[in-house]
A and B are shown apart, each in its own frame.
Chain A
Amino acid sequence: MSSAAQVQGQPTSSPATAAPDRFYPARRALESVVGPLAALLLSAIGFSVFLLVLGKSPTDFFALMWKGAFASTFSLDNTLQRAAPLLLTALCVAVPAQLGLVIIGGEGAVVLGGLAATVIALPLNGAWPPLVQVAMAIAGAAAGAGWIAITGLLRARRGINETVASLVLAYIGIALFNHLVEGPLRDPASLNKPSTYGIGDANMLGPLPGTDLHPGLAVGVVACILCWVLISRTSLGFSMRVTGGNLRAAQLQGLPVQRLIILACLIGGGCAGLAGMIEVAAVHGRANASLIAGYGYAGILIAFLSRQNPLAIIPMSVLLGGIGAAGGLLQRRMDLPDATVQVLEGFIFVAILASETMQGRIAWFQPRARG
């Protein structure tokens, strides 16, 4: 989005080509870091005022926040654990966003990905576990990809609004999930909490070697990096960004816009489906209502906070994971209701979105002609 604006802005400052501003790329990179940081600071100040109005101490709050989220191995582990599924679900928003699509139905892809992974593991029980796990990952990613691709197809071929379509499909996906888990796929022994049969302990993914960390963390970080490479370092990614910047221009250039839309949805959905598979394989061991935990929706928040940049998703997921990890401690020590951390998240969200409008408005960060 902003890159398109800069492309348009270039010709007016074309005399600068005579004396190129060598530091401009560095300043531009700095701008994209300073913006969100300033927004975070601003939201912390705003939230402190909110706490003071409630009669609570902001210093206590942020001290507990630090303690609960980052101060010890346990806290850090807690934070990263919560961040892990969000890395992948944020990609479900950020990848299609390169084409200007706002996909908010990742939750459907998460639950169906988890279910598909479970279903494929059941008949394979007893086979070599890495094989089962690979099959689960493929099934999960395929189910998620397929589900979000429906939205992509509707958008590309019929011009249906992808935001509404993806959200409604998420509801349908969850209903389908509930129907299957409580009906045809139910383990009759799961009386009071309907669940599918378990995938078997042997097929579970263990923590990352040498740590207590969720395996989804490594998968998520790798996926974020791959998506970043795809978007910023390949011609395919460039085509996506061109389409997002100016659809008409992309069509005039002969870019396969419809196929790009469907491809981006496949990639995003695949990431969300993989998140569901990892939840099943690393945490639950079976598919049940625990899978409908809102990770898909939390991913929307993170993608927007990251300004749809896959690399920025990593720190933002850790930040939100940390807020979640500290949330319990804040309830227990400061007697604050659970909704307090949602208020903080709200402050951050609004501040970061507002900071986005400042991009390109501050002269110091802009290209300058050297005299």
Chain B
Amino acid sequence: MTQSSGASPGFSRRTLLQSAGLGTAAAALGAPMISRRARGAELVIGFIYVGPKDDYGYNQAHAEAAAVLKKMPGIKIVEEEKVPETDDVAKTMQSMIELDGATLLFPTSFGYFDPYMLKMASKYPSVQFRHCGGLWTSKNPTNTGSYFGYIGMAQYLNGVVAGFTSKSKKIGFVAAKPIPQVLINVNSFALGARSVDPSITTQVIFTGDWSMPVKEAEATNSLADQGIDVVTCHVDGPKVLVETAERRGIYTCGYHANQSALAPKGYLTGAEWNWITVYKQFVGEMQAGKPLGNFVRGGLAEGFVKTSPYGPAVSAAAQAHADMVKAEIMKGGFSVFKGPLKDNKGNVVVPAGKSYVETAIELESMNYLVEGVNGSLS
């Protein structure tokens, strides 16, 4: 049989040349073909993750949303995982632009922003860059932007459920670094539990880095050894913590993504990102030819974060109460950090009569652990 009309003669020639020679001839032919494809109607979006896509955590939360986008018509998703926060990420962005024709990039890790993403944004002004983390200011290039979610409220709800479930009145938190974003979660979790029973104490352990599976397991074991019966965390991949807690027979509240599959007995609920909301928003703006938002943030009420369905160990009373608090949060204006509030050294951190809602700028430089949290920042 002769080569029938040839659905795509260009393609077969290219394949042949590349597999035969791998020479410069193939490369020279290959380059214009890539850009021809890029000029098509389809929108190419690049996602960059700092860890594995299936980490049951931070990266999976983004990858799950990317998988939803992938099913939408007219969209092509290119993804790269385990890209370090070094010049490598600048090269990955450039490669997605140059070789894949991406016109919208989501570098999802905090450390990708400065200088890597900013550098690439000035180099490629026609490409849109949206970074997860809330670092954008009006001084940055207009083709860049930030999106982030206020997840503290979901950790507060975790705390409420933990407060109802704990029998020992001691709960634990495994945290990566004592930075404001993490401290908001630790304190929200503790305050949620204390809103149920003010005698509850929260033990926090800082592991020192975002992904330290061995230390996270040790920390979980040490919390269990202290008689703590509910744990949660703020590390990149909560998998190890959730599995260890389940083995030790204690309860967990999830973080980043839904980890209930890892702890069918002990998983109570979880604070999850719901990134698809913001990704759909950006993609919709892009497809409509409208300018993209530069600074987009939202919480539970805006659908940027969500809570995991309750596990079997959550009592009816706990569910009812948590649902009630959640309904209150959804109305807006809910405040977890209300005065008078002391830190765990006895200093007043929120004076009486003052209260900070989740969007309050004061919370973004948080440098304390609230009363009832055992642990220290240094």
What is the bound-complex CA distance between A321 and B95, given in angstroms?
14
CB of A178 within 8 A of CB of B208, answer yes
Give the distance in Å from the alpha carbon of A82 to the alpha carbon of B88 in the complex. Answer: 7
- Please determine whether A74 and B27 come into contact, CB atoms closer than 8 angstroms: no
Closest CB-CB distance, A28 to chain B, in whole Å? 31
Residues of B within 8 A of A70 (CB): 27
Residue among B82, B84, B179 making CB contact with A191, cutoff 8 Å: B179
Stretch among A10-18, A238-246, A328-336, A353-361 lining the B interface:
A328-336
CA distance A68 to B100 in the complex (A): 11
Q: Find A283's partner among B26, B52, B80, B86 (CB 8 Å cutoff).
A: B86
Interface residue? A63 (CB, 8 A) = yes
Residue in B22, B30, B133 whose CB lies within 8 Å of A192: B133
Does B355 count as interface, using CB distance less than 8 angstroms?
no
Q: Would you give the shortest CB distance from B304 to chain A, in whole angstroms?
A: 18
Contact B91 A71 (CB under 8 A): no
Is A324 engaged at the interface, CB distance under 8 Å to the other chain?
yes
Contacts of A66 in B (CB 8 A): 18, 22, 26-27
Point out the residue from B84, B85, B99 that lies within 8 Å of A68, measured CB to CB.
B99
B interface, over-half SS: helix
Contact of B111 among A59, A62, A193, A332 (CB under 8 A): A193
- Given contacts A63-B18, A67-B99, A183-B378, is CB(A72)–CB(B52) below 8 Å? no
Do residues A328 and B95 form an inter-chain contact, with CB atoms below 8 A? yes
A338: chain B residues within 8 A (beta carbon): 52, 80-82
Contact B110 A81, beta carbon cutoff 8 Å:
no
- A182, A183, A194, A285: the one contacting B115 at CB < 8 Å is A285
Q: Report the Cα distance A214→B91, complex, angstroms.
A: 12
Distance in angstroms between the alpha carbons of A325 and B111 in the assembled complex = 20
Q: Which of B104-141 contact A (CB under 8 A)?
A: 110-111, 115, 133
Q: Which residue of B lies closest to A84 (CB)?
A: B87
Determine if A368 is an interface residue (Cβ-Cβ < 8 Å): no
> By the criterion CB–CB under 8 Å, are B180 and A331 in contact?
no
Interface of A is mostly: helix
Residue B12 interfacial (CB < 8 Å)? no
Q: Assess whether A63 is in contact with B84, with CB atoms less than 8 Å apart.
A: no
- Nearest B-chain residue to A288, judged by Cβ: B111
- B94 beta carbon closer than 8 Å to chain A: yes
B27 touches A72 (CB 8 A): yes
Per-position 1/0 for B299-327, Cβ under 8 A of A? 00000000000000000000000000000
Contacts of B79 in A (CB 8 A): 331-332
* Cβ of A293 under 8 Å from chain B: yes
Question: Inside 8 A of A289's CB, which chain B residues have their CB?
Answer: 85, 111, 209
Contact of A82 (CB < 8 Å), options: B18, B81, B91:
B91
B102 to chain A, nearest CB (A): 10
Q: Which residues of B in the span 32-65 have a Cβ within 8 Å of any Cβ on A?
A: 52
B149 to chain A, nearest CB (A): 14
A71 contacts B30, C-beta separation under 8 Å: yes
Question: Is there a chain A Cβ closer than 8 Å to B92's Cβ?
Answer: yes
Q: Which has the most chain A C-beta neighbours within 10 Å: B18, B26, B81, B180?
A: B18
Interchain nearest-CB distance for A86 vs B (Å): 12
- Indicate the member of B79, B95, B111, B181 with the most A CB atoms within 10 Å: B95
Given contacts A66-B27, A290-B85, are A78 and B180 in contact (CB under 8 A)?
no
Say yes or no: A194 contacts B27, CB within 8 Å.
Answer: no
Looking at the assembled complex, report how far the CB atom of B121 sits from the nearest CB atom of chain A, in whole angstroms: 16
What does the 1/0 interface line of A170-194 toward B look like (CB < 8 Å)?
A: 0000000010001100000001111
A 264-311 contacts with B by CB, 8 A: 279, 283-285, 288-290, 293-294
Q: How far is the CB of B178 from chain A (nearest CB, A)?
A: 8
Contacts of B111 in A (CB 8 A): 193, 288-290
A194 in contact with B18 given A72-B31, A293-B84, A332-B79 (CB within 8 Å): no
Instruction: Name the distance in Å between A194's Cβ and chain B's nearest Cβ.
Output: 7
Measured CB to CB, the closest approach of chain B to A64, in angstroms, equals: 8
Given contacts A59-B18, A74-B94, A293-B86, whether A329 and B99 have CB atoms under 8 Å apart is yes
Contact B365 A191 (CB under 8 A): yes
A193–B18 Cα gap in the complex (Å)?
Answer: 43
Compute how far the CA of A78 lies from the CA of B93 in the bound complex, rounded to whole angstroms.
11
List chain B residues, Cβ under 8 A from A194.
177, 179
Once the chains bind, are A328 and B24 in contact (CB under 8 Å)?
A: no
With CB as the reference atom, state the residue of chain A lying closest to B24.
A71
Cβ of B5 < 8 Å from any Cβ of A? no
CB A166 to nearest CB in B, in angstroms, measures 21
Chain A nearest CB from B88 CB (Å) reads 7
Bound: A285/B133 CA distance, A: 20
Q: Which residue of B lies closest to A71 (CB)?
A: B27
Is residue B200 within 8 Å, beta carbon to beta carbon, of the partner chain?
no
Q: Residue-by-residue, is A73-104 near B (CB-CB < 8 Å gives 1, otherwise 0)?
A: 01100100110000000000000000000000
Name the residue among B22, B181, B209 with the largest chain A CB count within 10 angstroms: B22
Residues of A within 8 Å of B181, CB to CB, are: 192
B365 touches A59 (CB 8 A): no
Cβ contacts under 8 Å, B26 to chain A:
63, 66, 71
B75 at interface (Cβ–Cβ under 8 A)?
A: no
Q: Which residues of B contact A59 (CB under 8 A)?
A: 15, 18-19
B78 beta carbon closer than 8 Å to chain A: yes
Residues of chain B lying within 8 A (CB to CB) of residue A214: 87
Residues of A within 8 A of B24 (CB): 71
- Given contacts A67-B30, A72-B27, A328-B80, whether A284 and B110 have CB atoms under 8 Å apart is no
Most chain B beta-carbon contacts within 10 A, residue among A63, A70, A178? A63
Contacts of B82 in A (CB 8 A): 338
B96 at the interface (CB under 8 A from A): yes
**A332 near B100 (CB under 8 angstroms)?**
yes
What is the CB-to-nearest-CB distance from B147 to chain A, in angstroms, rounded to a whole number? 15
By a CB distance below 8 angstroms, the chain B residues around A82 are 88, 91
Inter-chain contact B364/A191, CB cutoff 8 Å: yes
Q: Are B27 and A67 in contact (CB under 8 A)?
A: yes
Chain A: CB-nearest residue to B135? A192
**Other A-B pairs, 9, CB within 8 Å; known A325-B95, A331-B80:** A67-B99, A74-B98, A183-B378, A193-B110, A194-B177, A329-B99, A331-B79, A332-B79, A338-B80
Instruction: List 19 A-B residue pairs with CB atoms under 8 Å apart, sorted by A's residue number.
Output: A63-B22, A67-B30, A74-B95, A75-B95, A78-B91, A82-B91, A182-B177, A191-B364, A191-B365, A193-B179, A214-B87, A289-B111, A290-B84, A328-B92, A329-B95, A329-B99, A332-B79, A332-B100, A338-B82
Name B's A-contacting residues (CB within 8 A): 15, 18-19, 22, 24, 26-27, 30-31, 52, 78-88, 91-92, 94-96, 98-100, 110-111, 115, 133, 177, 179-181, 208-209, 364-365, 378
